[in-house]
Amino acid sequence: MINTNSRVDGEKIAKKKFGQNFLKDETVLHKIIESMPNDDDPVVEIGPGLGDLTRYLVEIKDVTAYEVDKDLCEHLRRRFDAVISDGRLKLRCTDVLSHWDQESLEDRPYHMVANLPYYIATNIILRALKDPNCKSLLVMVQKEVAEKFSAQPGQKAFSALAVLAQSAGEVHLCFDVPPESFVPAPKVMSSVLRIVKKRTLDDSEFETFLKTAFTQPRKTLAKNLSARFDKKDVVAALDSLDLGPSVRPHEVETSLYHHLYKILKGDIDGREENSGKPTQQQ
């Protein structure tokens, strides 16, 4: 049995240094559970907080929860003593990013569920996209962050993050969550973002290429890329893909970014870089 009487005052216990906002809205909690994949794979929950979502997760799946706050870990141990004892819940009291540097979060395929503090949300999502054991992500983040990952080409919010997410799988902004659904209430709207992975994308050079492409979103893609590649090669590469010299970064399809990257690296049609420098198309 879960100790449902083990309650704390979320307003008092929340710590600013961890960006803690505890989800209290039962309707939202149920919508998150309903949005999860229906299979037998375990769940990794990042930031279980007070355990209000965790109590639903352990009823349907094996859960490994990562919590950095030692005080919350003690609360979670008391609240979930029975399910920890029977093995349905493994509680890891550590910084998930530091743990990730040492080993995988789970040694088998898993789904990630998280209410992510805004200051680490992007980093967590990008790490999950690179983790071959992570099959999907269902994360609550600041709406602005969710839009950057879920935006489509042509939309102003389309970014390098959207290209990376779409390269890994299917991305969907599920629903918004208002500030009053949390204790304490944040100052911004939140959203639940789902990414179902089809592949693992772990290419640091491609990430660097995208950062260059989106360095100044209001500038042309040609101008941004010319900061790293020879301008004539950039214009020629764009032309080969039927992209004009005035195209903006947010107007280019994800698949075309992969083609553009390969062309500028000299990998198309068997051409390989001879110098190792990405400033000349061989």
| CA distance linking residue 260 with residue 241, whole number of Å | 8
* Radius of gyration for the alpha carbons in the chain, expressed in angstroms and rounded: 21
Q: Say whether 67 counts as a known binding-site residue.
A: yes
Query: What separation in angstroms does the CA of 269 have from each of 148, 205, 251, 262, 272?
Result: 33, 20, 26, 10, 9
| CA distance linking residue 270 with residue 276, whole number of Å | 15
The three-point CA angle 223-256-163 to 5° equals 85
Q: Say whether 95 counts as a known binding-site residue.
A: yes
Q: Say whether 23 counts as a known binding-site residue.
A: yes
Q: What are phi and psi of 194, to 5 degrees?
A: -120, 130
Contacts of 119 (CB under 8 A, 6+ apart): 19
Would you list which residues are annotated within the binding site for S-adenosyl-L-methionine? 21, 23, 47, 67, 95, 115
- Binding site as annotated, residues: 21, 23, 47, 67, 95, 115
